[in-house]
């Protein structure tokens, strides 16, 4: 709980902090990276360049202050904290790094807001920061303990690439086993790992998350990576390009344990998996898992892609459909001309997904994954058709959530 005195000060200064949120976090990152250049290796330079990560952190701190002072319209904070904590845990963030972030964040507030920032204002925002930080540190400690990570957030383990398969022009799968020959940890369908790579020249280490696309419980892990191409003069994706072009069978990659709070299978009832493009990776883990654990479960897979030839891993669908007795498949290909796939019983439509035509079984648990506008469209359509909000889970392949 925020103290009464601090709550009043935070309420009074919240509009100014909100108004300057982006300037404050911009200044914060600059200060922090100047003082701790080693942190550049754990932050995502792509997100820094596009401003996405700045927006995510600013939004989280300000929204939490709003929440503590009675605003934010009762937004449930549990899922937001879980998302951040899982992401942090996959990056090996430690409790000892929180004072660094806190110090530079508060100093940045002072720099941007100037004289308005009295010692009382600093104390009040410090309290907000630490209430949030303590929530995250506690969650992250539980996640580390659950994953058997030793103190100090030592999450990294070397994994050897034993297979590299070109799935489509833009997508490649890597099959990985622990380089030390040790056991392969289990994971829940929908979970991801962080992958750390050392880029060439002075670009240092970069870390990205990839959902596990293979069967949980198998003797190896698999990730499927789409090559991100820069649009309108923006640079090509750093890590996806590196994985496509520079990583070969026999090489090793540093991987975190599996984390991620979003289940791709929900409970025991009907399941609706809706994906677009590379967003199919959690759904493929879910299908592989259910094929061996619950072959009779009613499952509908809805997938949208540019074309049949661009649909990664689709060659696995006929085999999955043989084992999953109640799997129905509905595909939307913008270019439906090359949609043939021997052995698959599927309805295939041309054009873009129409949420009104997605088959919805009453009581279904829904899992969405794909570009944010796609998920927003589908979620909106399903909500309008009476699917309860709490039955719709979604995974964003970047920072942030849908609303």
Ligand X SMILES: Cc1cc2nc3c(=O)[nH]c(=O)nc-3n(C[C@H](O)[C@H](O)[C@H](O)COP(=O)(O)OP(=O)(O)OC[C@H]3O[C@@H](n4cnc5c(N)ncnc54)[C@H](O)[C@@H]3O)c2cc1C
Q: Residue 274 burial by CB count (10 A; 0-12/13-18/19+): exposed, middle or buried?
A: buried
**The two structure tokens encoding residue 52:** 């996405």
Residue 367 lies near ligand X (rule: CB under 6 A): no
**The two structure tokens encoding residue 118:** 């009295």
Cα 395 to Cα 370: distance, rounded to the nearest angstrom: 8
Please, which residue, 39 or 307, has the CB nearer to ligand HEM? 39
Residue 144 lies near ligand X (rule: CB under 6 A): no
Beta bridge partners of 226: 171
Whether residue 394 lies in the annotated active site: no
Q: Which residue out of 127, 140, 167, 395 is catalytically annotated?
A: 140
Whether residue 98 lies in the annotated active site: yes
Residue 238 binds: one of ligand HEM, ligand X, none (C-beta under 5 to 8 A by kind): ligand X
201-220 residues near ligand HEM, rule: CB under 6 A: none
* Cα 112 versus chain centre, distance: 31
Residue 173 binds: one of ligand X, ligand HEM, none (C-beta under 5 to 8 A by kind): none
Residue 91 lies near ligand HEM (rule: CB under 6 A): yes
- Give the alpha-carbon dihedral of 339, 315, 367, 229, to 10 degrees: -80
Cα 274 to Cα 283: distance, rounded to the nearest angstrom: 8
**The two structure tokens encoding residue 245:** 């072009």
Please, which residue, 178 or 400, has the CB nearer to ligand HEM? 400
Please, what is the minimum distance in Å from the beta carbon of residue 61 to ligand HEM? Answer: 5
CA-closest candidate to residue 4, choices 120, 88, 95: 120
Residue 241 sits at φ, ψ, to 5 deg, of -65, -45
- Helix runs in 217-276, H state only: 238-246
Residue 44 lies near ligand HEM (rule: CB under 6 A): yes
Please, what is the minimum distance in Å from the beta carbon of residue 90 to ligand HEM? Answer: 9
Closest-approach residue to ligand HEM (CB): 44
Q: At what angle do helices 4-19 and 21-35 cross, to 10 degrees?
A: 100
Please, which residue, 139 or 311, has the CB nearer to ligand HEM? 139
Cα 137 to Cα 133: distance, rounded to the nearest angstrom: 6
CA-closest candidate to residue 271, choices 291, 257, 242, 255: 291
121-140 residues near ligand HEM, rule: CB under 6 A: 129, 132-133, 136
Which span sits near ligand HEM by CB under 6 A: 57-65, 71-79, 172-180, 242-250?
A: 57-65
Per-position b or e across 278-293, b if 16+ CB within 10 A of its CB: bbbbbbbbbbbbbbee
Please, which residue, 88 or 303, has the CB nearer to ligand HEM? 88
Residue 33 binds: one of ligand X, ligand HEM, none (C-beta under 5 to 8 A by kind): none
Residue 155 binds: one of ligand X, ligand HEM, none (C-beta under 5 to 8 A by kind): none
Residue 239 lies near ligand X (rule: CB under 6 A): yes
- Give me the half-sphere count of Cα atoms (radius 13 Å) on the Cβ side of residue 291: 21
Residue 238 lies near ligand X (rule: CB under 6 A): yes
Mind telling me the catalytic residues? 98, 140
Please give the residue ranges that form the binding site for ligand HEM (CB under 6 A). 39, 42-44, 47, 53, 56-57, 60-61, 83-84, 87-88, 91, 93, 97-98, 101, 129, 132-133, 136, 399-400
Please give the residue ranges that form the binding site for ligand X (CB under 6 A). 44, 46, 49-50, 192, 208-211, 224-226, 228, 230, 234-235, 237-241, 278, 281, 395, 397-398
């Amino acid at each position: 709980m925020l103290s009464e005195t601090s709550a009043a000060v935070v309420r009074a200064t919240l509009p100014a902090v909100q108004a300057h949120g982006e300037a404050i976090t911009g200044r914060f990152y600059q200060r922090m990276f100047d003082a701790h250049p080693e942190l550049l290796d754990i932050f995502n330079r792509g997100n820094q360049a596009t401003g996405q990560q700045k927006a995510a952190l600013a939004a989280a701190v300000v929204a939490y202050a709003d929440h503590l002072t009675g605003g934010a319209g009762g937004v449930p904070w549990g899922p937001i904290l879980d998302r951040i904590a899982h992401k942090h845990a996959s990056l090996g963030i430690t409790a000892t790094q929180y004072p660094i972030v806190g110090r530079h964040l508060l100093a940045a507030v002072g720099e941007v807001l100037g004289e308005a920032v009295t010692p009382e204002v600093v104390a009040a925002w410090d309290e907000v920061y630490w209430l949030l930080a303590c929530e995250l540190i506690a969650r992250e400690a539980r996640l580390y303990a659950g994953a058997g990570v030793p103190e100090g957030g030592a999450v990294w383990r070397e994994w050897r690439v034993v297979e590299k398969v070109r799935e489509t022009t833009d997508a490649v799968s890597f099959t990985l086993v622990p380089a030390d020959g040790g056991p392969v940890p289990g994971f829940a369908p929908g979970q991801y790992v962080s992958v750390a790579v050392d880029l060439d020249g002075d670009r240092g280490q970069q870390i990205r998350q990839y959902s596990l696309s293979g069967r949980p419980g198998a003797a190896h892990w698999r990730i499927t990576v789409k090559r991100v191409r820069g649009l309108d003069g923006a640079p090509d994706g750093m890590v996806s390009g590196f994985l496509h072009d520079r990583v070969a069978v026999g090489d090793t990659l540093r991987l975190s344990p599996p984390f991620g709070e979003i289940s791709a299978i929900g409970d025991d009832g009907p399941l609706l998996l809706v994906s677009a493009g590379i967003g199919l990776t959690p759904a493929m883990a879910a299908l592989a898992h259910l094929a061996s654990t619950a072959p009779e479960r009613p499952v509908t897979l809805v997938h949208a892609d540019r074309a049949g030839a661009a649909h990664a891993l689709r060659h696995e669908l006929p085999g999955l459909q043989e084992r999953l007795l109640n799997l129905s498949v509905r595909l939307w290909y913008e270019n439906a001309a090359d949609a043939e796939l021997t052995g698959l019983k599927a309805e295939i439509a041309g054009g873009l997904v129409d949420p009104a035509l997605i088959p919805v079984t009453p009581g279904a648990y829904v899992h969405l994954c794909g570009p944010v506008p796609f998920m927003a469209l589908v979620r909106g359509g399903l909500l309008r058709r009476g699917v309860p909000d709490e039955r719709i889970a979604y995974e964003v392949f970047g920072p942030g959530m849908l609303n």
